[in-house]
């Protein structure tokens, strides 16, 4: 179980603990808490990926000043790919579907969703390192090309991983 889930579980009030003893309520509430933990983790991912996206604009300016305009399309494409990933994470279906939702997510699928989100943290680290390389390569075309290739691969790997996450929910 995630730290977010455990924190939410600990913060339940006395009244909720009493209500939790009602038949059927416990399983429902557990899923709701897991849903909230999933939402918190995704919000954190969006915030962290956005911080990395924001680091690219100064790189773009420095490259424009030192190397030239011919790199703007490539850097712009990287920014677009990262923004697309951020938007997909932000608007992804939550980890638990309600009673009347068309898509039902089972307990073990919730664990798999959480694992995908945790793997995205590893991908975030790779993107962070790739952008570090971009920041150091703003005045050399060869270094910039290498850094852009690495950054694009890191963003694509994160996007591919996130696409697998949605397959858990939809089954497609």
Encoding tokens for residue 172? Answer: 């497609």
| Cα-trace Rg, the chain | 20
8 domain residue, yes or no: no
Taking all residues of the chain, what is their mean pLDDT, rounded to a whole number? 81
3-state secondary structure of 22: coil
- Grouping H, G, I as helix, E, B as strand and the rest as coil, residue 71 is helix
Phi, psi angles (nearest 5°) of residue 94: -70, 165
Inside any domain, residue 147? yes
List helix spans (H) across the chain. 3-10, 14-19, 25-66, 72-90, 107-136, 141-170
User: Cβ neighbours of residue 122 under 8 Å, at least 6 residues apart?
Assistant: none
Q: Per the domain annotation, does 63 fall within a domain?
A: yes
pLDDT for position 154: 98
Answer yes or no: is 18 within a domain: no
Per-residue pLDDT at 36 = 78
Give the pLDDT of residue 17.
Answer: 56
CB 146, CB 98: distance < 8 Å: no
Q: Which range has the worst mean pLDDT, 81-85, 109-113, 148-152?
A: 109-113
Q: Tell me if 22 is assigned to some domain.
A: no
State which residues form the domain around 89: 43-170
Number of domains observed in the structure of the chain: 1
In a domain, 11, yes or no: no
- 50 domain residue, yes or no: yes
47-78 per-position pLDDT tens digit: 999 999 999 999 999 999 999 999 999 999 99
Has residue 168 got a pLDDT over 90? no
Q: Compute the distance between CA of residue 28 and CA of residue 35 in angstroms, rounded to an integer.
A: 11
Q: Which residues contact 119 (CB under 8 A, 6 or more apart)?
A: 161
**What one-character DSSP code corresponds to residue 138?**
T
Q: Name, in order, each residue with C-beta under 8 angstroms of 105's C-beta and a sequence gap of 6 or more.
A: 95, 96, 97, 113, 168, 169
């Amino acid at each position: 179980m995630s730290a977010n889930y455990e924190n939410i579980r600990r913060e339940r009030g006395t009244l909720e603990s009493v209500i939790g003893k009602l038949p059927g309520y416990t399983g429902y509430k557990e899923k709701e808490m897991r849903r909230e933990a999933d939402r918190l983790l995704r919000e954190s991912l969006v915030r962290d990926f956005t911080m990395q996206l924001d680091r690219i604009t100064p790189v773009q300016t420095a490259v424009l000043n030192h190397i030239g305009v011919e790199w703007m399309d490539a850097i712009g494409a990287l920014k677009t790919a990262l923004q697309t990933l951020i938007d997909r994470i932000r608007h992804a279906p939550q980890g638990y579907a309600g009673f009347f939702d068309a898509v039902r997510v089972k307990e073990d699928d919730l664990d798999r969703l959480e694992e995908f989100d945790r793997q995205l943290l590893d991908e975030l680290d790779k993107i962070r390192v790739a952008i570090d390389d971009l920041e150091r390569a703003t005045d050399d075309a060869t270094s910039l090309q290498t850094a852009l290739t690495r950054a694009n691969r890191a963003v694509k790997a994160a996007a591919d991983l996130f696409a697998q996450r949605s397959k858990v929910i939809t089954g497609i």
